[in-house]
Structure 1
Amino acid sequence: MTPPDWSLLLDPPPFPPHGYARIADRLASLLGTKADIVFVQAEAVVALEAVAASLARPGLPVLNIITSPYGGMVGGWLRRAGAEVVDLTAEPGEPIKAEAVAGALDRHPQTALLSLVHAESASGILNPLPDILALARARDIVTVVDAVASAGGHALDIDALGIDVAVIGPQKALGGPAGLSAISLTPRAWALAERPEAPTGSILSLIDLKQGWLDTGRGPLPGMPAPLEWHAFAAALDRIEREGLTAVIERHAVAAAATRRALERLGLALWPAHGAPSNLVTAAVLPEGLDRAALLAALPAEVEITACIGPGTEHLIRLNHTGPRATPIAVARGIEALGAALRQAGVPADTEAALSDLPPRA
């Protein structure tokens, strides 16, 4: 097999200065929002830190929901900025329960900001976002949603749900590049960010993005944008718009359902044990005594089956069916490879039965 000619990526044409606003408008249309869209020219974890650094202030009462290491990081960044953070941590590896959120808000009625992840690619769980946002709206709480993984894989109508801040990563279900990210912000969110002590002169400053791009007419972006990332983002949106976002979400749902059925027929227990799974990755519990590292090492490099991340996931693996991988052929390749690795490890696994009702692989 001839390796790709990566030199074709050299000397890319510049991205047109008017194109950034166009991408913002296309993304806003897809996600159902009239909120401002700004861009962080870095991977989405930087955007999450920028939101925490820009919105938090000394004494701000925050309820931070933790269902993976990402929630823990956000809580740390909020504390660093001086916020008074109450962490609400789910059972290890499980989604948070809306009842637990309601109870925490009753115990902390002064809460002004609520932060949570929508769908966790770390462990394959889905948090009950609409229920939690309804609780926040009823209490007039500003909401921050990490939708890095979920946008494109689950319904995410930002305005209808009442999300004040949504952080979007193109590299997951949208199938785009990993080197930039987007944030939607409502006027309520900007009201928290616009204060004298807000960080400026920093990649973590949302105010810099507002003043340097939004307030100047959304022309050229400050700094030196990486044209490859922007051309790739535009191409990803082209592909999403051609397929239709509803169809993209349905494709993820079909791939997830097929993966869950196949894993059960391989004899594996599905995760989470309680609550809803995501459409992005499917997690399964390995048989007792099976060496997870050895099993994963036996898999072909091109198959995206990895260890789950975070407390409570030490015996879990996850099959990635996100973005372009949300197809029957990608699911089949993963199940075939996993079945072979299980048999090599001495675990009976009937791959033919597992794939018996998979959708057509075309």
Structure 2
Amino acid sequence: MPFTAPSSLLDLPPFPADGYADIADRMGALLGTRNDVLLVQGEAIIALEAVASSLAQPGLGAINIITSPYGGLFGGWLRRGGAYVTDVVAEAGLPVTVEAVKSALDARPEAKLLAIVHAESASGIINPLEEIVALTKARGVVTVVDAVASFGGHALDVDGLGVDLVVTGPQKSLAGSAGLSVIGISPKAWALGSHEAAPVNSVLSLLDHKRLWLETGRGVLPGMPSALEFWALRAALERFEAEGLDAAIARHHLAAEATRAGVRALGLTPWVDAAQASDLVTTVRLPDGLTVGQVLQAADAAGLSGGVGPVAEHLVRLNHTGQNAQRDVVRANIAALGRAVAGDIEAGLVAVDGVYGIAA
């Protein structure tokens, strides 16, 4: 049998028992919440399904905002649990309007829950969260926010806004592993989720986290925690905290502005204007006569990808998330896109450098 060289990924020491609560508190601080923070082993889609499954109950009135396929999944999970769901479906690839949400809330005064995705990597848009949460707070509606693609790259003050439940993870702006997720949950959300139909003894049970972790002093997580994932999350947190939340948000915003400037200098059009755009991913309308496949093949760059959902065939995504929110990555993305569309690459790079304050 051939000898296998040692790897730093193997034979890891156990994660310290007091480290889980420390990570939860640090994530809570970045989210701006003093609510309970749960650590879920698994990619964020698992945490989102757990939230929907735990809150849903027969007869619950819910409003579900759909601005990508992920919103559609959440509504389906709520219905599976017996909730009566009204979907507010935005125009394909665009943010939902505050007016549409207000109309839905007015039409469903008995609704007790509203679910929304903050930012969409699928189409590079951001929803008007502050205005929507103001509407739900005025009506006493529990607000569930999917902040997987916005946390760390956009301002998100959970308690300041009054968000009742937030789901996120470290794989976007923190540039960490996708194997863990985080849920922040308020007393009001706990009250909504504490019902006879709520799942227990299940990976989809929030009540299990409350019973087996929160109420036992936040020691070792139940089950078999993955030391690898928690060491990786702690490392990602340390790097992110060293930079600082405000600095990371500013870095993502600068990368987004530079990318949009480079796109326009290539003679192309961003999918949405800056006020509606995520700072983690910039989406670009395809020029006439070109397909996504043709552009990606010609670009041959890891930072470019196709969209997701109903507008996927109309746009290309430029990634500047996490450690990719840097000038050199933005320049590489613009150069690759310029090659693919026969654009003026030099003009695109000059535009990028101009946003970064570097003269040609």
Q: Shorter-chain-normalised TM-score: which range?
A: over 0.9
Aligned to 2:46: 46
Aligned to 1:311: 310
Contact 1:133 1:162 in 2 (8 A): yes
Partner Cα separation in structure 2 for residue 288 and residue 315 of structure 1: 10
Aligned to 1:339: 338
Q: 1:7 to 1:274 in 2, by over 3 A?
A: closer
Output the TM-score relative to the length of structure 1. Answer: 0.94
Q: Deviations over 1:292-350 (max 9, x none)?
A: 1122123335x22111111133210110101110111111111111212223xxxxx01
Partner Cα separation in structure 1 for residue 289 and residue 111 of structure 2: 44
Structure 2 letter corresponding to 1:353: A
Partner Cα separation in structure 1 for residue 173 and residue 6 of structure 2: 24
Q: Within 5 Å, give how 1:230-309 maps onto structure 2.
A: 230-272=230-272, 276-301=276-301, 303-309=302-308
Aligned to 1:356: 350
Partner Cα separation in structure 2 for residue 19 and residue 298 of structure 1: 46
Shift of 1:274: 9.1
Secondary structure at the aligned position of 2:318 is classed as strand
Shift of 1:260: 0.4
Q: Deviations over 1:78-122 (max 9, x none)?
A: 000100000000001000011111111111111110000000011
Partner Cα separation in structure 2 for residue 293 and residue 207 of structure 1: 45
Partner Cα separation in structure 1 for residue 41 and residue 313 of structure 2: 33
Partner Cα separation in structure 1 for residue 242 and residue 93 of structure 2: 36
Structure 2 letter corresponding to 1:320: N
Contact 1:304 1:320 in 2 (8 A): yes
Q: Within 5 Å, give how 1:110-125 maps onto structure 2.
A: 110-125=110-125
Q: Give 5+ residue unaligned stretches, structure 2.
A: none
Q: 1:274 to 1:352 in 2, by over 3 A?
A: closer
Aligned to 1:216: 216
Partner Cα separation in structure 1 for residue 272 and residue 96 of structure 2: 11
Q: CA RMSD in A?
A: 1.4
Structure 2 letter corresponding to 1:322: T
Q: Deviations over 1:45-91 (max 9, x none)?
A: 00000000001100100000000000000000000010000000000
Output the TM-score relative to the length of structure 2. Answer: 0.95
Partner Cα separation in structure 2 for residue 36 and residue 211 of structure 1: 13
Same amino acid, percent of matched pairs? 56
Partner Cα separation in structure 2 for residue 133 and residue 44 of structure 1: 22
Q: Give 5+ residue unaligned stretches, structure 1.
A: 344-348
Partner Cα separation in structure 1 for residue 148 and residue 217 of structure 2: 26
Partner Cα separation in structure 1 for residue 133 and residue 33 of structure 2: 16
Aligned to 1:322: 321
Contact 1:328 1:360 in 2 (8 A): no
Shift of 1:291: 2.0
Partner Cα separation in structure 1 for residue 330 and residue 48 of structure 2: 30
Structure 2 letter corresponding to 1:305: L
Aligned to 1:346: none
Contact 2:291 2:313 in 1 (8 A): no
Partner Cα separation in structure 2 for residue 314 and residue 125 of structure 1: 16
Q: 1:94 to 1:274 in 2, by over 3 A?
A: farther
Contact 1:281 1:320 in 2 (8 A): yes
Secondary structure at the aligned position of 1:242 is classed as helix
Secondary structure at the aligned position of 1:269 is classed as coil
> Is the deviation greater in 57-66 or in 102-111?
102-111
Contact 2:59 2:84 in 1 (8 A): yes
Aligned residues: 351
> Is the deviation greater in 222-231 or in 76-85?
222-231
Shift of 1:267: 1.2
Q: Deviations over 1:23-56 (max 9, x none)?
A: 0011111111110000110000000000000011
Partner Cα separation in structure 2 for residue 272 and residue 85 of structure 1: 29
Contact 1:93 1:311 in 2 (8 A): yes
Partner Cα separation in structure 2 for residue 26 and residue 81 of structure 1: 32
Partner Cα separation in structure 1 for residue 50 and residue 26 of structure 2: 23
Secondary structure at the aligned position of 2:53 is classed as helix
Shift of 1:226: 1.1
Contact 1:36 1:186 in 2 (8 A): yes
